[in-house]
Structure 1
Amino acid sequence: MAAESEQPSMPIISEMGQFGGWLTNHSDLIIQYCVNIIAAVLILFVGYLLSKAIANGTAKVLHKKNMDKAVVQFIHGLLRYALFAIVFVAALSRLGVQTASVVAVIGAAGLAIGLALQGSLSNFAAGILIVIFRPFKSGDYVQVSGVAGSVDSIQIFQTILTTPDNKMVVVPNSSVIGSPITNYSRHKTRRIDLVIGVSYSADLNKVKSLLLALCEADSRVLKDPGVVVGVQALADSSVNFVVRPWVNTSDYWDVYFDLLQSIKESLDKEGIDIPFPQMNVHLNKVES
């Protein structure tokens, strides 16, 4: 009985012996593969750190050169991804993969992916054009593709805007390039355009002198170019004056609001009416 119980373990012992022999015969190959895998992992890890460090270092140098923040962020992202792609190919090469065939496969796959992702590629190309031609820079207040806001960053595929009420808007770069761009911050000065309506009974010369004096009294209004005040239109219920002072771009909204308030208060003080829509209702008694 004891001999019979020992017989089933013999094949297992034999298989273990064969496996041990295979390990002994191929120990050099196994060690080489293990070394290659460890080396590939180290290449990926160290390469990731180096690509990150190089991209960050380049960004710091560009910042010191006073390059625009949005451009720096675009170059940082592009450089980091490109370097890591090189590191990935190097890791594959360490594993014994033929990099020439990998590049060919990547090229073929890139063509197929490019056809499938034409929009993303157009966004990438548009991002490069934005960086080269620089229609705006970080912090500029712009209107692009129907959206107005301050430029936060230019990324590889999209431009990030922050609206005046602190909303983040992501605009694809192709939409930025493919639509008119209005940059409100590019020039140092801007013109305020106001239309002020007064009644037909008002003394037009007096109104013109008053509007001109109010603009010139504000120290934020520029002397050159001068303020333009004139009759713009004889409307249905009012005589419309156009008021066009020039101010520094940073003072635009402050002067805009203050000037409107000053004009209203001064016209009221001088007894000059500002017409507003009115409706007269006449009730006629019908005798039965």
Structure 2
Amino acid sequence: MKLPANPAHATSRLRDRVPPQAFFGVSAVFHYLGPAFAVMLLEHVGVLGVAWLRIFGAAVVFAVWRRPWRLAGRLRPAQLGLLLALGVVLAAMNTVFYLACARIPLSTVGAIEFLGTLVLATIGMRNGRNLLALVLAVGGVVALADIRLVDEPLGFVFAFANCALFLVYVILSHRIANTGSGLSGIDQLGAAMLIAAVAVTPYGLGDATAAFAHPSWLLAGLGVAVCSSVIPYVTDQLAMARLRRATFALMLSILPATATVIGLAVLAQAPTVQDLAGIALITAGVAIHQEPSEEKTA
């Protein structure tokens, strides 16, 4: 009798066969496709409720798929602390992200979200070509940001809070992807998502109850969870396992461009000439960036 394939072994083979840039491309698309659908769900469910539906739905998917509680007896105290930290960060990051998206355009939130990762990209620069790539990417983000603090100051407070938390997410997730402990990064991500579900429940469940009487809203929430917190976070893990942290951070500069395109396609938030110029600069920066030959986990 043939035993079912081990999910960890299957994802390991997939990770080794597919270029890491391809995983990142999938993550970039779904990173804002899910939130775009969530913005439409906000019309029926409060911001905190949408955050709960996203995180709890993702936790259910990871629980069924990976059964991350199996890691309990194999985690050292330091690893457990890392997963607890990532879980809390995921809960807080997703919450402030939606609080920002409810007030300012998705493309602006995306541009601000990238700013924190510039620190990681700058630290990892090793040659003139990569420095030029960073300059082009920064110019593109500045063009896309078009910050108007007077219009919606609270929205920008949440957007910059999300920026800081996203930076922490990248650092913690990259560490998990490269622990070298024999534990699957995706399994650890699943455990962190279960922790995030516990963390978001006290303040998010109340708003989410409005969706319990509407199966279509619950289904939409599950779709947001898969598109926002399962597909992009899993492909992030697969890409991070093979890319330097600084390289991954620079590639994140494509996210504001992705947010602009998806904002147009899903939310009818039309880009301006300045937005298009920003997208072109970011694309050029990512295109000329060269992966350093040193150890990827620097």
TM-score (norm 2): 0.22
Structure with more strand by fraction: 1
TM-score (norm 1): 0.23
Structure with more helix by fraction: 2
More contact order relative to length (CA 8 Å, sep ≥ 6): 2
